Amino acid sequence: MSDVAFGDVPLVEVWRGGRLESLHRGHAVICDSRGVVESWGDPAAVIYPRSSCKMLQALPLLETGAGAGLWQKRLALSCASHQGAAIHTGAVSEWLAEMGLSEGDLRCGVQDPSDVAERNRLICTGDSACQLHNNCSGKHTGFLMLNKHLGGGSEYVELDHPVQKAVKAAFEEVTGEDSPGYGIDGCSAPNFATSVGGLARAMARFATATETDARGRAMVSLREAMAAHPEMVAGEGRACTELMRVMDGVAIKTGAEAVFVAMIPSKGLGVALKITDGATRASEAAIVAILSWLGVLDGQHPMALKRLGGPLTNWRGKAWGELRLAEGFC
């Protein structure tokens, strides 16, 4: 395994006035059930997958039977980096209440909502944001449901807690790699490192999973829930939600610091990418490029052009430049 900056290659360019203004380098890997089928950069580059791996973190919830019978919307929410909109906070609150728990049992921390309507509501009413607004509150509610099943203590985000031990075991098994370490995520949970190739391998396993065993059933349930309820995975205006709405059965997920993954059941492929400088604009452009190149996203659809190929405009609506793919990428 190698450092994230070692072996990265140009992936996305920003042009203004006919000149190259900025360049985003990174790594991207496409895997099938046998291994890497295409790559740019170094598949061995080690990254923190951040929130892109939430479906991996949710596997023990279903594999143990703790989440048996969960609605699809709640499964999608367990994989979400949501906006803190009313549909998200309401769903988390109801889920917690049904378990006899409350917002105070979460350990994700308070985060202001990025949903404009909810942020305006808080300002107008004088209410304060709470942990329900945290973009990871759905994942943490899934952790709490798993914790009730496992009988662990209240601090379920600690590395040696049964919940995180179960998450790490599933993570390493599905990526096919021993994690070289972990970092603490924005929501306080451990985020286990892996290679870009390992993350793509995990996505291929989700893409090709069948309901022949507990893990396969869990993978199918999570990927189908994400694709069926993209509004729960992110929110209005977000790339995950808007792009999943215009594809057929493809599940995608972003992560902080410009990570993106995709599960493509129709082709049996998994995708993972990381932009070295952490720029979201570049990771969104790169995932659009790969999905279009693979033929599962119409690159001329407005939701695709919003991220790649369409004009970049200023506050007056005047075009000033464009995002382009670097030579040799897709």
pLDDT in tens, the chain (330 residues): 788 989 999 999 999 999 999 999 999 999 999 999 999 999 999 999 999 999 999 999 999 999 999 999 999 999 999 999 999 999 999 999 999 999 999 999 999 999 999 999 999 999 999 999 999 999 999 999 999 999 999 999 999 999 999 999 999 999 999 999 999 999 999 999 999 999 999 999 999 999 999 999 999 999 999 999 999 999 999 999 999 999 999 999 999 999 999 999 999 999 999 999 999 999 999 999 999 999 999 999 999 999 999 999 999 999 999 999 999 999
Q: Which of 230, 257, 238, 252 is nearest to 296 (CA)?
A: 252
- For the chain, the farthest-separated pair of C-alpha atoms sits apart, in whole angstroms, at 61
Strand positions, DSSP E, the chain: 9-16, 19-32, 35-40, 46-47, 182-184, 190-192, 194-195, 251-255, 259-264, 269-275, 311-313, 319-325
Contact between 76 and 62 (Cβ < 8 Å): no
Can you name the residues that pair with 30 across neighbouring β-strands? 38, 271
Work out the number of other CB atoms within 10 angstroms of the CB of residue 216. 16
Tell me the whole-structure pTM to 2 decimals. Answer: 0.97
Domains, the chain, with CATH or none: 9-325 (3.40.710)
Long-range contacts of 154-163 (CB under 8 A, 24+ apart): 154/105, 155/107, 156/107, 157/107, 157/187, 157/188, 157/189, 157/190, 159/190, 163/60
Cα separation, 37 vs 293, in Å, equals 14
Cα separation, 147 vs 311, in Å, equals 48
